Structure 1
Amino acid sequence: MSAPATMLPGFAAADVEVATDAGPPLRIRAATAGSGPPLLLLHGHPQTHATWRAAAPRLAERFTVVAPDLRGYGDSGKPPSDDAHLAYSKRAMARDQVRLMRALGHTSFAVAGHDRGGRVAHRMALDHPAAVERLAVLDIAPTATMYARTDREFASRYYWWFFLIRPAPLPEEMIAGATETFLRTHLREQSGTPGVPEEDLAREYLRCYRDPDTVRAVCEDYRAAATVDLEHDDADAREGRLLTRPLLALWGARGTVGRLYDVPAAWREVSGAPVDGEALDCGHLVQEERPGETAARLEAFLALEPDHR
């Protein structure tokens, strides 16, 4: 049987089965390359691991890079959910990725996550502090912060946060009736750079989005973010749990997050560790619009002390 395909140059893809706390093992599609300290790259919505195509090869020159498809996305498994949306909580999605990294031989690692992947990385660093050495989040503020400070401008710009959480099957069936229009409009509104995403990447995202199970999983991801994920965040706040690992926040200066939030300040509210941040001249798709700059800033942030190299 031939190896699964990946759009990341120089990377090899494989399907890895990871244990779940309820139900059968889950298939996670992951692309890997490079040598050196391990680095986990997590994509957002509506992307797949292919979003790292331009940035990952540079990072693989210094790191052992693992770029998976999150649970429910791309070619990873898409388990059933329920009214509590627990199967698509960021806690469950983070646990998948920790188990993936262990299966690949990495008990501790750095993680960089864009969009939904950043929210998974945030939860991962809270729930698995021994596994996460450093944390980078791309073009997000904490989920609870963004919901708590929602206003008309945010709701207008991020309308899908409120559309996708409607009870099934409304958003699923509406997207099924206009899949390509919905996806391409969403991608166009995310990007601040003409020609990004490139057409072959857009077609890859569309290939995955044409699967009704992907759309179902996407909706469940967002439903979880508006319910059980906020419950987990509330519990952390009550218990005084903060991030304990150094954090880098990168965001697009022409994107919604950069316009509406003081991004480093928002992350300092939930962190007891150093937080650094920088805006790049782009929209939301930081790693696609400014891949070289993104990789360079991640390299600098993730550089190990000389005696640990």
Structure 2
Amino acid sequence: MITRHFIDVSSGGNKRRVHYRKAGKGPPLLMVHQSPRSSKEYEALMEKWSPHFTCIAPDTPGFGQSGPLPGNPEIAEYADAAIAFLDALNIEKCAAYGFHSGGIILVTAVKRHPTRITTLAVGGYAIWSAEEMALFSDRYLPEFHPSDYGEHLTWLWNRILEQSWFFPWFATDDAHRLSVANDDPMRVDAIVREMLDAGNAYQAGYGAVLRAPRDIPAVDADVPPCLISAYNGDPLQEHIDRLGDMPPTWSAQKVATPEEHQTVSLNHLLATETAMIDGLPDANDEGFIAVQTGEFNGLIHWRGERGANQLVLHAPSYNVAGNQTTGQIAVDLPGHGLSDNWTDAVPVAWAPWHTLVSDVADVLGTTEIVYPNLQVGEPEQLYPDLSPDRFGNYLNMAWQIVRARHMFAPWYKVDAQHVVAFDEQQLKPEHLAAEHLALINGHSAKEYHIALQSRLKED
């Protein structure tokens, strides 16, 4: 089972919160994701490698649920942040794996902190030519901010979609076509959500990787062993031929498939012994608890003061936001925010929700439940299907909903009789962006609303 955690990390005189995933047993394996992804991209690989390692995958600074580094950090600071993360977990040494930009961060970490990594496997290592770097220039990483009417969402969908068609994504010509083109809305949606989590912070982490020196350690460098591999279809496979001379314990190879890359990487990592570790620490005011009821078996995200008297429930299609009031703790209910969804069909009766909430309250030590107010309207219309579609229309639909529901109640009745007063500040794009992400993450909003309605009728 993959568990999720938060920990506070101090580096360079600053403290920031880091979110990470953990799975398995055995010696520790640090897994650093590519940009602009998060540790979620490693879930399947963590399951596969968990019999061999305690897989630990943090969201790198500014991505996923991890706080960014201050200022304008370069690659050395991202490498040092990875080591500071190990320090916070009390891990002296570990094996490591990184894909693409994750590999750049880890190679830098190996050069700066060679005694902290026992062995390293990398999926694709970029050695850009001067001409390629000139092509990237500023076009590869434009600023990404929410706009009043959701225009940023149209750009984002197409930018992520066409990243599998061309590399770089804006070089739309035959010379830059890729062999792995797809139009799978679920694959695109996964990356879109991670970009929405990161916002413009993606520029810093991605930019530091692109600007990073591509100097492989010298032949006589005292560094841990490393394997760099890349599969057919990976735009970095041809870069294997550009690596040049490497230390004697370093090697590189081209492989046919992603599965073969994973196999050779695992075999390489297992060839070097890494010491076991004890339990890992957690933040004391935010985390995840594992809950198992008849209809739910997964993780529930919580934030606040453990042992507080009140457990606060958010409204349907919203989530835990901001710091909690003293004496309160809040949770993301199933199918909302950072929590898992219901295991099977989402219940519309209140009883299963009540059972889950009661179990969560017992674990967190709360005694009083604070229920939310419900939006005015019919659930079927309040919460339309926002499943990802081929053209990304669901993103714009959700944006229009979060705008309209500040002005009308219910939001779908746009006339003089349903006008409501609103604070103009609530229409600021950054405010709408948070609501928009909560809405598209609210997979069980309609059923939760119906369940709350049934609770009110029972009372």
Q: TM-score, normalised by structure 2?
A: 0.50
Distance 1:96 1:32, change over 3 A: same
CA drift of 1:206 comes to 1.2
Give the equivalent residue in structure 2 for 1:132. Answer: 117
Give the equivalent residue in structure 2 for 1:303. Answer: 270
Aligned equivalents of 2:61 and 2:182: distance in 1?
28
Q: Which has the higher contact order (CA 8 A, sep 6+)?
A: 1
Q: Are residues 1:172 and 2:144 paired?
A: yes
Give the equivalent residue in structure 2 for 1:279. Answer: 254
Give the residue type in structure 2 aligned to 1:97: A
CA drift of 1:222 comes to 3.9
Alignment of 1:5-24 (within 5 A): 10-23=1-14
Aligned equivalents of 2:275 and 2:239: distance in 1?
39
Please point out which of 58, 63, 79 is paired with 1:73.
63
Distance 1:49 1:308, change over 3 A: closer
Give the equivalent residue in structure 2 for 1:33. Answer: 23
Aligned equivalents of 1:225 and 1:59: distance in 2?
26
Aligned equivalents of 1:161 and 1:57: distance in 2?
38
The answer on whether the counterparts of 1:107 and 1:131 sit within 8 Å (CA) in structure 2 is: yes
Q: Are residues 1:102 and 2:87 paired?
A: yes
The answer on whether the counterparts of 1:110 and 1:132 sit within 8 Å (CA) in structure 2 is: yes
Greater radius of gyration (CA): 2
The answer on whether the counterparts of 1:55 and 1:294 sit within 8 Å (CA) in structure 2 is: no
Alignment of 1:1-309 (within 5 A): 10-23=1-14, 25-81=15-71, 85-86=72-73, 89-141=74-126, 145-146=127-128, 149-151=129-131, 154=132, 160=136, 162-164=138-140, 171-172=143-144, 176=152, 178-189=155-166, 192-193=179-180, 199-211=185-197, 214-225=198-209, 229-230=212-213, 242=221, 244-263=223-242, 266=243, 268-269=244-245, 271-282=246-257, 290=258, 292-304=259-271
Aligned equivalents of 1:281 and 1:126: distance in 2?
29
The answer on whether the counterparts of 1:251 and 1:258 sit within 8 Å (CA) in structure 2 is: yes
Aligned residues: 261
Aligned equivalents of 1:52 and 1:192: distance in 2?
23
Distance 1:12 1:80, change over 3 A: same
- Aligned-residue sequence identity (percent) comes to 18
Give the residue type in structure 1 aligned to 2:12: D
CA shift digits 1:268-308 (9 cap, x unpaired): 53x434222222325xxxxxxx2x43332122101246898
Give the residue type in structure 1 aligned to 2:8: E
The answer on whether the counterparts of 1:125 and 1:243 sit within 8 Å (CA) in structure 2 is: no
Aligned equivalents of 1:129 and 1:55: distance in 2?
25
CA shift digits 1:245-290 (9 cap, x unpaired): 1110111233322235505xx1x53x434222222325xxxxxxx2
Aligned equivalents of 2:275 and 2:58: distance in 1?
26
Aligned equivalents of 1:307 and 1:206: distance in 2?
36
Aligned equivalents of 2:163 and 2:116: distance in 1?
33
What secondary structure is seen at the aligned counterpart in 2 of 1:45? coil
How large is the Cα RMSD of the aligned pairs?
3.3
Distance 1:216 1:301, change over 3 A: same
Distance 1:261 1:163, change over 3 A: farther
Aligned equivalents of 1:35 and 1:125: distance in 2?
24
Aligned equivalents of 2:252 and 2:22: distance in 1?
27
Aligned equivalents of 2:196 and 2:250: distance in 1?
38
CA drift of 1:65 comes to 0.6
Unaligned runs of 5+ in 2: 168-177, 277-459
Give the residue type in structure 1 aligned to 2:268: F
Aligned equivalents of 2:10 and 2:130: distance in 1?
36
What secondary structure is seen at the aligned counterpart in 1 of 2:44? coil
Aligned equivalents of 2:39 and 2:29: distance in 1?
13
Aligned equivalents of 1:189 and 1:47: distance in 2?
18
Give the equivalent residue in structure 2 for 1:285. Answer: none
Unaligned runs of 5+ in 1: 1-9, 283-289
CA drift of 1:129 comes to 0.7
Aligned equivalents of 1:32 and 1:121: distance in 2?
18
What secondary structure is seen at the aligned counterpart in 1 of 2:26? coil
What secondary structure is seen at the aligned counterpart in 2 of 1:19? strand
Q: TM-score, normalised by structure 1?
A: 0.72
CA drift of 1:68 comes to 1.3
Give the residue type in structure 2 aligned to 1:62: H
Give the residue type in structure 1 aligned to 2:143: P
Aligned equivalents of 1:161 and 1:27: distance in 2?
31
Aligned equivalents of 1:225 and 1:305: distance in 2?
27
Give the residue type in structure 2 aligned to 1:57: E
